[in-house]
Chains A and B, each alone.
Chain A
Amino acid sequence: MGDFILLAISAILVNNILLIQYLGNCPFLGTSKKMDTAVGMAMAVVFVLALAGIVTWIFEAVFLKPLGLEYIRTIVFIVVIAALVQFVEIFLKKNIPALYAGLGIFLPLITTNCAVMGVCLINIKEEYNFLEMLVSSIAYPAGFGLALILFAGLRERIIIGRVPGPLQDVSIALVTAGFMSLSFLGFKGMI
C-alpha cells in the first residue's frame, strides 16, 4: 500500500508531468485562461489517461512484447489511443450525454496529446504491473490537473493586473509557468 502512495505522490508532485517533465504544454497554455475550461480539461485528461493507460498496457502485454515488436510501440500507441478516444466520444454522445456535454469538447483536443502518450510510455518503461499502472495512469493526470488549475487561477489574477504591453498574455504566462516549475522542483528531495 505504501508503495502505491509513494508512487502517487511521485507522479502528482515530484515528477509532475507538466512542470517537471514538460509534457502537455500545449493545453497547459491553451486552456488555462479560464478556470471553468481548466477544470473541464483536467477531468478529461484524467478520464482519457485512465482508459488509454489500461488499453496500451494490455496491448503491450498481449501483442508487442510476445511478438518482439517493441520498436513500433510509439506508432501502435498513437493509433490505439486515437481510435480509443474517438470510440469513447461516440459512445458518450449516445449513452452518457451529461458526461459528453462536460468533457466532449475537450476529447478531440487531447486525442494524442503528448502528456497522454508520455504517461503510457512511462508505464511501459518503468515496467509497472497492472495495479501500479492503474495508480500511475490516474496520479499523473491528477498532477496535470493540479498544475493546470493552479495555473488558471494565477492567470485569472494576472489578467486584471497591470502587465506591461509587450509582456501581456502568453509571455507573462510563460514567465509564470517558469516560476511554478521552479517551485515544483522543491519537491525533489521528498522521496
Chain B
Amino acid sequence: MLEALLLMMGLGGVAGTLLGIASKVFYVWEDPRIALVTDCLAGANCGGCGYTGCGACAAAMVAGEAPPSACIVGGATSAEMAAAVLGLEAGAAEPLTSQNTCTGGFRAPEKFTYMGVNDCRAAYLLYTGAKECGVGCLGFGSCVRACQFDALKMGPEGVPVVDVEKCTGCGACEKACPKGIMQVRKPSDRILHMNLVTDRLAPCRQTCPAEIDIPKYIHHIRNKEYDKAYLTIMERNPMPLSIGRVCPHPCEDACRRALGDDPISINQLKRFCSDWVFDENAQIKIPVAPDTGYSVAIVGGGPSGLAAAYFLRRLGHQVKIFEWMPKLAGMIRYGIPEYRLPKASLDRDIKRILDLGGIEVKTGVKFGVDFDLESLVGGGFDAVLFSIGAWKHASARIPDEDKVKGVVPATIYLRAQTEPGVGDPYPMGKNVAVIGGGNVAMDCLRSSIRRGAENVYCLYRREVKDMPANKVEIEACQHEGIEFIPLCTPTKFITDDEGNLTGIEYLKNELGEPDASGRRKPVAIKGSETVLPIDTFVLAIGQATDSAFAEQEGTAVSRLETFKGSIVVNPDTHQTAVPYVFSSGDSAGPPGLLVAAIGGARRAARGIHKYLMGEDMAMSEIRLRVDSRRMKGHISGTIFDSIEGIEKKGRIGQPELEPGSYERQHTYAEVDLTITEEDALREANRCMRCCLTCYNRDTGMASRA
C-alpha cells in the first residue's frame, strides 16, 4: 500500500515538475490578449464557433480571423467584452436571435387528424403534416424540446414563442424544424432578405413596396409594445415619421379585412407608434454589424440616399453622403410642404439615421461641379450610389413658357416657400393656376392658399377621378376652396407689355378612345377657347432626373447609360453599367412613391453589400415581385374574393385641423393629426394578423389554449 502511495506521489511530483520545466524551456511567446479574450468567452469548449475549443477561437479573434462575435454561446455580452479587449468598436456585435415566422397555430385548418408521435419531424413524414398550409407550423414543439436554453415556449396560440432575452442564437431550433419556420438570423441577414414566394406573408406585407412586416408591428401595438413596433418598422423603413405622414399606403388597398369591413389604417398606426417613441423619448438601440472596412459614397441625401446610408451602415460599411442642398432629405424637405410633413418630424427621422454613427454628411456640394466620379474613387470610396432624385421639370409645351414672368416649375415654387432663403424667393400672386393632377400639383395648390392667394385653380386635362394624386389630397383641396378645372388644355399665355403673366387661354377637352394607359384620351375641342385671368402659373406635370453629367465625353461617369434622364440600372441589384456605381430612388427610374424609394434603397444597399463582399449579387429566382399599383403578382391563393367571420366595425377617421379655421387656411400648421392611443389600440385590435391563408376571425375563434 505504502509503495503504491509513494509511487503515485512520486509520479505526480515528477510529472508536474517536468511539465513545469518544459513550459519554461519550451516557452513560446503568445499574444497575452489571447488569454484575456479566452476569459471573455463562454468557456464551454463546445466548438460551436467552428474552432477547436475556446482557446483556438480566442487566438483566431486576436489574429483577426474571427469576429469578436464568433462565440455563439457567449452571445452579445461576450462579444462586447472581447471587442473591448481587442480595442474594436464596442457595439460591433450583432445579436443572433431566433424568430418564429409562422402565426398560424390553432387557427390554421387541418387536412386530416394526425394521431402519430408528438413530434414535428415525425408528423412531417406523413404528407408533410396535417396543416392545410404547406409552410405552416405543425405545433408539436420539436423546436421547444431542441432548445437547451429554455428560450422557446409553445404559446397560447399554438405556435412557438421566443424569449429574446434567453435566446443565444445557437440554431438548434432551426435544425429541429422540418418546415424552416424557426429562423436564426442576424439583423443584417434580415436586412438582406427580400420577400420570397415561399415566405409567410400577409397580403399587406406582400404589397408594401418597402416590405415592412405589417402584421408584426400592429401586433406589438396591440400589446402596447410601441418601441418594439418601431424597431420592427425600422428593419425595413428608416423614416417612419415621414412615411407615416405622406404615404399613400398601397398596403391598405390589399388589406384582407376590406372584404368584410373597412381596411386597417395601417399608415396611421405606423405614424402613431413612431411618434410615441419620440414623444416618450424611448431608448432605442439599433444594432449595427461589425465594420467591414469598406466605404461607400452616396451622391444625393434625399430619402433614397438616406435610407441606403442607413441600411449600408447597419451592414457594417462606412458611408459618406454628398448633398447639394444646404440640408438633407431632398425632395421631401424642399418639395413637401410643412403642413403635410413638418420639418421637425423629418429632422427626427434624419437624426435617428445619423445617430447610428459612421455616416458622414457633406452638404452644399454638387456632383459634376465640386466633385466627380474620379475624385470619389481617388478619395478611397469602394462604391458609389447615385440617388440624385428628379429635379428637372417637364415642359407643358406652351409657347414662351420659359420667358413669361409668372410661369414657374413646381419644384422651384415649392422650394421657395418650404425653406425661406433657399432658392429664389418667389413673389406670390393673387390668382394662381397649377397644371397637373399629381400630389406635387396638390402641394402647390394647398401651399398657394396658405400664402394668401385669393383664387387658386387646378387645371387638368382629364377628369378629377382620373387624377393620380391621393384621394385624401384631392378632398383636402376641395375643403380648402380650390377650384378644379378638369378637361382643359392650356394653349397660350396672355401677358402685359412688360411680359408679366395676366391670363391663360385654354381649350376645353372631350374624352376620346382609351390610350395605352387604359384611360380615355383627352381631345381638345376646336373653338372652345376660354381665358382665365391669373398672374402665376405653376407647372406640375412631372419631373425627370438631371443626368446631363453623363453626356460629358471622356469621363468615367459618361459610361453610365441613361434613359429619359434616369440612370439605367439592374432592377434587382441597382447596379449600373459601371460595376462600382449604383443608383436608387427617382434617379433610377420613373419618379415614384417615397415608400418605393425606401424599398429600392434597401435593394441597392443589398446590391452594394454583395458587390463589396464579393458575393453572388443575383436575387433568388423565387423572389416575390408584387406590382403594388396594379395589385398584381401576389402569392397565389392569398388574395381572397370573400371572407367569413368578420364583423363590420369601421375604421377610425383621420383627425385633422378644422376646415375653414385660421390655422388650416393661413398657417403651415400640420393638417393631419396623429391618432390617440385609444384609437390606435382600437384600430390595432381590428387587425386580423393575417398570414398566407390564416387570419383571426372576430367570431367563432377556435381556442384550444
Contact = CB atoms under 8 A, between A and B. Distances in A.
Interface in A50-108: 63, 67-69, 71-72, 75-76, 79-80, 82-83, 86-87, 90-91, 93-95, 105, 108
Contacts of B22: 87, 90-91
A164 interface: yes
B19 A80 contact: no
A90 B23 contact: yes
Interface string B109-142: 0000000000101101100000000000000000
A32 to B, nearest CB: 15
B52 A165 contact: no
A69 B19 contact: no
A189 interface: no
B171 to A, nearest CB: 14
B669 interface: no
A166 B122 contact: yes
Contact of A94 (B7, B27, B52): B27
Interface band, chain B: 20 to 34
Contacts of B15: 79-80, 82-83
B282 interface: no
Contact of B52 (A80, A90, A91, A105): A105
Contact of A75 (B8, B18, B27): B8
Given A165-B124, A166-B121, A166-B122, A90 B11 contact: no
A93 B34 CA distance: 16
Contacts of B53: 105, 108
A68 B4 CA distance: 9
B8 A76 contact: yes
Contacts of B12: 79
A68 B12 CA distance: 19
Interface in B131-176: none
A83 to B, nearest CB: 4
Interface in B252-311: none
Given A79-B12, A83-B15, A166-B121, A90 B7 contact: no
Contacts of A75: 8
Given A93-B26, A94-B28, A165 B125 contact: yes
A72 B7 contact: yes
What DSSP secondary structure best describes chain A's contact surface?
A: helix
B26 A90 contact: yes
B121 A90 contact: no
Contact of B26 (A68, A82, A95): A95
Interface string A105-118: 10011000000000
A67 B3 contact: yes
A164 B125 contact: yes
A138 B355 CA distance: 64
Contacts of A68: 3
B178 interface: yes
Contacts of B27: 94
A86 B22 CA distance: 10
Nearest to A87: B22
Interface in A13-68: 63, 67-68
Contacts of B19: 83, 86-87, 90
A82 to B, nearest CB: 8
Contacts of A79: 8, 11-12, 15
B541 interface: no
Interface in B49-85: 52-53, 56
B49 to A, nearest CB: 13
A47 B6 CA distance: 31
Given A83-B19, A94-B28, A165-B124, A76 B11 contact: yes
Interface string A162-178: 00111000000000000
Contact of B7 (A76, A87, A91, A93): A76
B68 to A, nearest CB: 22
A67 B52 CA distance: 41
A172 to B, nearest CB: 14
Taking each of B3, B4, B27, which has the highest tally of chain A beta carbons within 10 Å of its own beta carbon?
Answer: B4
Interface in B424-473: none
A105 B122 CA distance: 38
B178 A63 contact: no
Contacts of A87: 18-19, 22
A90 B4 CA distance: 29
B297 to A, nearest CB: 42
B23 A63 contact: no
A83 B122 CA distance: 48
A152 B500 CA distance: 89
A39 to B, nearest CB: 15
A166 B120 CA distance: 10
Contact of A165 (B4, B7, B11, B121): B121
Contact of A69 (B4, B119, B178): B4
Given A69-B7, A75-B8, A93-B26, A83 B18 contact: yes
B257 to A, nearest CB: 38
Contact of B56 (A69, A80, A95, A105): A105
B592 to A, nearest CB: 45
B604 to A, nearest CB: 36
B3 A69 contact: yes
Contacts of A72: 4, 7-8
Nearest to A31: B52
Nearest to B24: A90
B34 to A, nearest CB: 13
Contacts of A91: 22, 26
Contacts of A94: 26-28
Interface in B312-344: none
B661 to A, nearest CB: 66
Contacts of B56: 105
A156 B17 CA distance: 44
Contacts of B8: 72, 75-76, 79
A12 B630 CA distance: 73
Interface in B353-369: none
A63 B3 CA distance: 10
Interface in B513-542: none
A109 B122 CA distance: 35
A95 B22 CA distance: 12
A167 to B, nearest CB: 10
A175 B53 CA distance: 28
Interface string B18-39: 1100110011100000000000
A149 B28 CA distance: 33
A75 to B, nearest CB: 7
B10 to A, nearest CB: 9
A108 B178 CA distance: 36
A82 B23 CA distance: 15
Contact of A80 (B11, B23, B119, B125): B11
A120 B56 CA distance: 30
A29 to B, nearest CB: 14
Nearest to A37: B52
A69 B119 CA distance: 55
Interface string A146-167: 0000000000000000001110
Contacts of A166: 119, 121-122, 125
A164 B121 CA distance: 9
A80 B19 CA distance: 12
A108 B53 CA distance: 10
A159 to B, nearest CB: 14
Interface of B: 3-4, 7-8, 11-12, 15, 18-19, 22-23, 26-28, 52-53, 56, 119, 121-122, 124-125, 178
8 contacts: A68-B3, A69-B4, A75-B8, A79-B12, A79-B15, A90-B26, A91-B26, A166-B122
Given A76-B11, A90-B23, A165-B124, 9 more contacts: A67-B3, A67-B7, A76-B7, A79-B8, A80-B11, A87-B19, A87-B22, A90-B22, A105-B56
- Nearest first, the 4 A-B pairs at minimum CB distance are A83-B15, A94-B26, A165-B121, A105-B52
